Amino acid sequence: MPPGGHPARAEALATLSRIAHEKMVDDEIGRLLERLRPLEESLEYDSDDASLIRVTRRDWEKQRRVPTELRVDLTRAAALGNQVWIEARATNDFAKFLPALQRNLELKRRYVECFEWDDSPYTPLLDDFEPYMLTSEVADVFATIRPVLSELVREAPRVDASFLHLSYPVAAQVGFYERVLATLGLDEGSYRLDPTVHPFCTSFSRRDVRMTTRFESGLDGLWSTMHEAGHGHYAHGIAPSLERTPLAGSPSLGLNESQSRTWENLVGRSRQFWLHWYEPLQETFPSQLGEVDLESFLTAVNRAEPGPIRVEADETTYSLHIILRFELEQQLIEGSLDPKDLPEAWNAGMADLLGVEVPDDTHGVLQDIHWSQGGIGYFPTYALGNVISLQIWAVVLEAIPDLDAQMEAGELGELAVWLRDNLYSLGRKFTPKETIERLTGTPTIDPQPYLAYLREKLASQPAGV
């Protein structure tokens, strides 16, 4: 979009959100839901139809609490904030961004007032992305992982990863990523991969999965492709019977992110995966990797190395970036942090949590798009995804005992089918905790498998460059 397009886009989005909201909160939907109650009660809890009625009722009741005008204002402010953020980040100008942030925060506080909460006004915001999750639950998980990660990052050996950031010809990257994608178990003709600045995956239906990656940061695009393929897998695996219903999605962003992390990290940084793929990768990039042995490669792609930018962070450091944002967001919503003091608080948090000095706001508080769009309550789901991914992975390893051997043979099909059948296909039928319990036997978010995974990974790293 040319920059001049922002204001009209904001109005168009505001109008669409008005139409969608008015349709959703209509009294008629409530009457229909009431009429369906006997049917719902006559059906199995797990059935598609009972789930459809139950989840739609919850959506309806939640959206009914929000006045249409507030919904429209939120949408417009998010779109306009986005434009201001682009300019502010480009010019390292937090003062320019501040009014848009204040406007979005003010609207988010009015949004919070539409709901009841026990622990924190942050909980209704969190609920938009991680339904039924309390702020206090997230805080407990983060309190457990924070000191461990902080110590792991500070003690991690510095390793040579410079070969990952040489120049890798784009056409060869595309070819290799497409080869890997073809083995992930996605149906041919239902996905595509395109270049972008900031990778994302969007899906318009089960068979219309659009992944993007970037080709300008050495080999990073490989893991960003695997990451987006995880999101794509989720959308692709939703049961056909749920298409074009409110159930065609994932129960929460945390669960969705757990799968992007699974494919990116648990598969894409594993020794087993690279026992198959490293030779083809070397053959594709002989001048960049011909002299790098598998051990050095694995050490580099599994290293922990703190830096100021979240999207460039390694697996271990990543959740620390999130914890900082979670803490600042709560303070902003609770009112204990004045938005104008945000850069200072950000920089102090980065020093405290990661031991990183922030060079400027562009590489600090202005680095992410989310707050400019009023996306508050979203960040924690990234770290929850990391945690949940390891809980689910433990079950996967039990269910597919020879998964290691399969991965070494370049076979990911059984993994894909298992995850589809046991997780992706469920869509939004169940709450996040119900979904996790179905898979793992417990609804609790347990950070221990995640911490054990990172500890073991970093303990095996050779010391020093």
User: Minimum CB separation from a copy of itself for residue 80, in Å?
Assistant: 14
Phi-psi region of 369 (alpha: psi -120 to 50; beta: other; left: phi over 0): alpha
Q: What is the torsional sign of CA 271, 277, 280, 285? A: negative
Beta carbon nearer to a copy of itself, 11 or 48: 11
Catalytic residue among 137, 228, 257, 315: 228
For residues 199 to 238, the per-residue mask of contacts with a copy of itself, x marking binding by CB under 8 A and - elsewhere, is -----xxxxxxx----------------------------
Nearest by Cα to 238 from 190, 176, 197: 190
335 in contact with a copy of itself (CB under 8 A):
no
Greatest pairwise CA separation for the chain in angstroms: 69
Beta carbon nearer to a copy of itself, 71 or 325: 71
Q: How far apart are CA 407 and CA 262, in angstroms?
A: 14
Bridge partners (DSSP) listed for residue 212: 194
Q: How far apart are CA 250 and CA 233, in angstroms?
A: 11
User: Minimum CB separation from a copy of itself for residue 397, in Å?
Assistant: 31
CB atoms within 10 A of CB 346: 21
Q: Name the one range near a copy of itself by CB under 8 A: 7-15, 280-288, 300-308, 309-317.
A: 7-15
User: Minimum CB separation from a copy of itself for residue 4, in Å?
Assistant: 3
Segments in 157-270 forming alpha helices (H): 170-181, 220-237, 253-261
Beta carbon nearer to a copy of itself, 203 or 256: 203
Do the Cβ atoms of 317 and 309 come closer than 8 Å? no
Catalytic status, residue 327:
no
240 in contact with a copy of itself (CB under 8 A):
no
Torsion of CA 164, 276, 405, 299, to 10 degrees: -20
User: Minimum CB separation from a copy of itself for residue 10, in Å?
Assistant: 10
Which residues in 143-202 contact a copy of itself (CB under 8 A)? 187, 189-192
Name which position in 8, 166, 405, 465 contacts a copy of itself (CB under 8 A): 8
Which residues in 243-262 contact a copy of itself (CB under 8 A)? 243-244
Binding site for a copy of itself (CB under 8 A): 1-5, 7-9, 11-12, 19, 23, 187, 189-192, 204-210, 243-244
**Catalytic site residues?**
228
